[in-house]
Amino acid sequence: MKINYCDALVIGGGLAGLRAGVAAQKKGLNTVVLSLVPVKRSHSAAAQGGMQASLGNSKMSDGDNEDLHFADTVKGSDWGCDQEVARMFVHTAPKAIRELAGWGVPWTRVREGSREAVINAKKTTITEDADRAGLIMSRDFGGTKKWRTCYTADATGHTMLFGVANEALKNKVDIRDRKEAVSLIHEDNRCYGAIVRDLITGELEAYVAKGTCIATGGYGRVFKQTTNAVICEGIGAALALETGVATLGNMEAVQFHPTPIVPSGILLTEGCRGDGGILRDVDGHRFMPDYEPEKKELASRDVVSRRMIEHIRNGKGVPSPYGDHIWLDISILGREHIEKNLRDVQEICQIFNGIDPADEGKAGWAPVLPMQHYSMGGIRTNPTGESQTLNGLFACGEAACWDMHGFNRLGGNSVSETVVAGMIIGNYFADYCLEHDVTIGTATVQKFLDEQDTYLNDILAYEGNEDIFRIKNRMQNLMDQKVGIFRDGTGLAEAVDELEELLKKTKKINVKSKERVGNPELEEAYRVPRMLKVALCVAKGGRERTESRGAHYREDFLKRDDANWLNRTLTSWPDANQTTPTVAYQDLDIMTMEMPPAFRGYGAKGMIIEHELSEKRQAEVDETTEKMQAEGKDRHEIQHELMPFDLPMNYREKNERAGDK
């Protein structure tokens, strides 16, 4: 048995994992980052539109601060998020973006003088002050009070990923790609690393570490129609689940993005609408103002996606061989703007659909339809990023339910979370590794390796007549049809039952090639059962949650039910022989919230079953705020009184802004 010892093991080499790796390495730890693919190919690169951070540099973002970013994030989450974590996040985001600037991310900068912009389909002139020129620029995104999304054209994730990956190379983080974790090594409720399969040689090896951090991204590929890269299969969450000890949080909270292009599902960034693009129906009519008079195309993603489907159901979709769709019109922004700020969008339209979106009129409209986009759920952690039940296991980024997104994430907050969580959790993770020793025996490690070795041989020996690719496709279609944007009890129950059957069928397949090396079907054969377990957590969590909150929308329970459902779903798999997950709940404490539950400001009104404590806590918050304001306390002091939070390093310090008095 080959054992690789290290101090800190990071599984997943996207933005979150790499940034956490840098944090650990900088604290003097021998750090290894494992990745399925060369790290610069991670799905982080697909983040197009930008990263939210309340810098407040440009005209349309002037006056922005942590408080506004916090309020937008909490409303966006439909009050499902952990408010302490949201505070930690918004306070660190400006530092993250400034750190990245220093690492060479070429943020688009404020340009002095006047420029034309399209706001609410009208040409508007915006004039930037001379003293702000050269600072980091921001654009508009859905669900935000200010223009807060910082960007590098529409390739923001790409430049951030290269910046952080290069910094990791500079700091000599040991990055090993084409390595797939297949199980976590754990004993007495503590995690000690992972059993890892080399995807080139097929060899199994053990990575033993003082602490392990999972940053493997989301589980979008359990759905058929998704913007996610093909590697986003939720395997990290599945490995945590399979320990029987760690829990997953809010797995039913799945976001559907309004504007992937039809039929390929490739994302056209929210920046399209943020920059002024609009949605049109079969008649060319701009319909969003009819549903959302205030926020229009820039309500939160869950709301816009549902309104689009609602409009299609009202017979206003555009028919096509791939079903009905909606048009996205960015031609009104003008060719110059598109060719500078939305170039990748233009390329995607040209290459995959033969459309130039800069062409005026209908010729430039792109067919779009809401599709799976983001996983709010993931490995449930504390604010430090550590699993609440499996010590020494940390998670950050989309793989985690750290929980700053609750039941809906705002555009620009995910790529921001990756680096912010990489900084915050990366440092707590490093501290854990500094304070703990490896105390596991090699015989135990051998046992974990042998289990996986036996499992692979078992799979190759299956002699059934099922086909793993068909099982996977069926799962994906089922998730789209019954666990999608609109859900109901009957469909969800059917989904749970059929997913359970599919899970059983994965042992009745027949893998054609018996090679242990370079055998793609074998890889599917051990991944799909894990994906099915994740899918079961999503479907069963959705079936049990009899309310609508954020992206989880039940047509048989239309209201957000704070009285009964202001809680977080926890799924676990304590017995390996179970065929569905165990579901439990964790209440959210209104009396410690800085912002008690209320109306989001968009979406349908009068759709909340209120919790009795919401009003009480709001009165407390108002009283404290008024009193402290009268005493001349500033917003930081008041915030601290309402809901204190901690951060590592110097991240708790105030953020300087150009608008500071």
Partner 1 sequence: MSIAKGREITISALKYNPRANGSKPEFVDYKLEETPGMTLFIALTKIREEYDPDLSFDFVCRAGICGSCGMVVNGKPALACRTLISNYPDGKLKLMPMPAFELIKDLSVNTGKWMDAMSVKVESWIVNNEEVDITKMESKVDPDVADETFELDRCIECGICVASCGTKLMRPDFVGPVGLNRVARFEVDPHDERTAEDFYELIGDDNGIFGCMSLLACEDHCPKHLPLQNKIAYLRRKLVSLR
Q: Dump the DSSP string for 531-569.
A: HHHHHHHHHHHHHH--S-BTTB-BTTB-SEEHHHH-EEE
Out of 60, 88, 90, 97, the residue judged to bind partner 1 by CB under 8 A: 97
Q: How far is the CB of 258 from partner 1 (least distance, A)?
A: 17
Residues 195-224 contacting partner 1, CB under 8 A: 200-202
| Identity of the residue numbered 99 | E
Nearer residue to partner 1 within complex by CB, 278 or 456: 456
Site string for partner 1, 144-163 (x = CB under 8 A): --------xx-x--xx--x-
Check binding of 521 to partner 1 (CB under 8 A). Answer: yes
Check binding of 189 to partner 1 (CB under 8 A). Answer: no
581: closest CA among 527, 524, 530? 530
Distance CA 352, CA 338 (A): 17
Q: Is residue 90 within a helix (H) or strand (E), and if so which, with residue range?
A: helix 83-102
Q: How far is the CB of 58 from partner 1 (least distance, A)?
A: 11
Distance CA 327, CA 286 (A): 9
Instruction: Point out which span in 101-109, 251-259, 393-401, 440-448 binds partner 1 (CB under 8 A).
Output: 101-109
How far does Cα 250 stand from its chain's mean position?
A: 12
Q: Which two tokens stand for residue 316?
A: 């206003």
Q: Which residues are catalytic?
A: 257, 273
The secondary structure of the chain in percent helix, strand, coil, rounded to multiples of 5, reads: 40, 20, 40
Residues 355-374 contacting partner 1, CB under 8 A: none
Out of 26, 27, 41, 145, the residue judged to bind partner 1 by CB under 8 A: 41
Residues 224-263 contacting partner 1, CB under 8 A: 229-231, 263
Site string for partner 1, 476-515 (x = CB under 8 A): -----------------------------------xxx-x
**350 to 328, 360, 365: CA distances (angstroms):** 14, 15, 11
Residues 430-469 contacting partner 1, CB under 8 A: 469
Nearer residue to partner 1 within complex by CB, 442 or 473: 473
Distance CA 107, CA 51 (A): 10
Nearer residue to partner 1 within complex by CB, 63 or 104: 104
Out of 61, 108, 216, 414, the residue judged to bind partner 1 by CB under 8 A: 108
Residues 641-660 contacting partner 1, CB under 8 A: 650, 653-658
Residues 266-285 contacting partner 1, CB under 8 A: 266-267
**How big is the chain by its Cα radius of gyration, in Å?**
24
Write the Ramachandran bin of 397: left for phi over 0, alpha for psi from -120 to 50, otherwise beta.
Answer: left
Distance CA 308, CA 144 (A): 20
Nearer residue to partner 1 within complex by CB, 93 or 393: 93
DSSP-derived secondary structure letter, 45: G
User: Three-state DSSP class for 180?
Assistant: strand
Q: How far is the CB of 449 from partner 1 (least distance, A)?
A: 21
User: Three-state DSSP class for 521?
Assistant: helix
Nearer residue to partner 1 within complex by CB, 25 or 614: 25
Check binding of 348 to partner 1 (CB under 8 A). Answer: yes
The answer to whether the beta carbons of residues 149 and 49 sit under 8 Å apart is: yes
Residues 600-619 contacting partner 1, CB under 8 A: none
4: closest CA among 216, 185, 241? 185
Task: Say which residue the tokens 């926890």 belong to.
Answer: 570
Nearer residue to partner 1 within complex by CB, 37 or 425: 37
Out of 82, 167, 302, 594, the residue judged to bind partner 1 by CB under 8 A: 167
Out of 120, 454, 473, 629, the residue judged to bind partner 1 by CB under 8 A: 473
Q: How far is the CB of 421 from partner 1 (least distance, A)?
A: 16
Out of 2, 28, 116, 134, the residue judged to bind partner 1 by CB under 8 A: 134
Q: How far is the CB of 151 from partner 1 (least distance, A)?
A: 10
Binding residues for partner 1, how many (CB under 8 A)? 81
The answer to whether the beta carbons of residues 561 and 546 sit under 8 Å apart is: yes
Q: How far is the CB of 471 from partner 1 (least distance, A)?
A: 11
Q: How far is the CB of 157 from partner 1 (least distance, A)?
A: 9
The answer to whether the beta carbons of residues 491 and 482 sit under 8 Å apart is: yes
> Would you call 30 exposed, middle or buried from its count of C-beta atoms within 10 A (0-12, 13-18, 19+)?
middle
Out of 136, 206, 208, 471, the residue judged to bind partner 1 by CB under 8 A: 136
Out of 5, 30, 103, 121, the residue judged to bind partner 1 by CB under 8 A: 103
Q: How far is the CB of 531 from partner 1 (least distance, A)?
A: 15
Nearer residue to partner 1 within complex by CB, 42 or 247: 42
Out of 15, 16, 175, 390, the residue judged to bind partner 1 by CB under 8 A: 175
Q: Dump the DSSP string for 297-308.
A: GGS-HHHHHHHH
DSSP-derived secondary structure letter, 580: S
Out of 321, 443, 577, 606, the residue judged to bind partner 1 by CB under 8 A: 321
Distance CA 350, CA 78 (A): 37
Q: How far is the CB of 444 from partner 1 (least distance, A)?
A: 30
Residues 57-96 contacting partner 1, CB under 8 A: 95-96
Q: How far is the CB of 199 from partner 1 (least distance, A)?
A: 8
What are the φ/ψ torsions at residue 581 (nearest 5 degrees)?
Answer: -75, 160
User: Three-state DSSP class for 212?
Assistant: strand
Q: Which two tokens stand for residue 116?
A: 């034309």
192: closest CA among 392, 396, 378, 454? 392
Distance CA 552, CA 560 (A): 10
Nearer residue to partner 1 within complex by CB, 398 or 547: 398
Check binding of 336 to partner 1 (CB under 8 A). Answer: no
Nearer residue to partner 1 within complex by CB, 230 or 607: 230
Does the bond joining 574 to the residue before it have cis omega, within 30 degrees of 0?
no
Looking only at the bridges linking them, the beta strands covering 113-119 and 122-128 are antiparallel
Q: How far is the CB of 462 from partner 1 (least distance, A)?
A: 14
Check binding of 545 to partner 1 (CB under 8 A). Answer: no
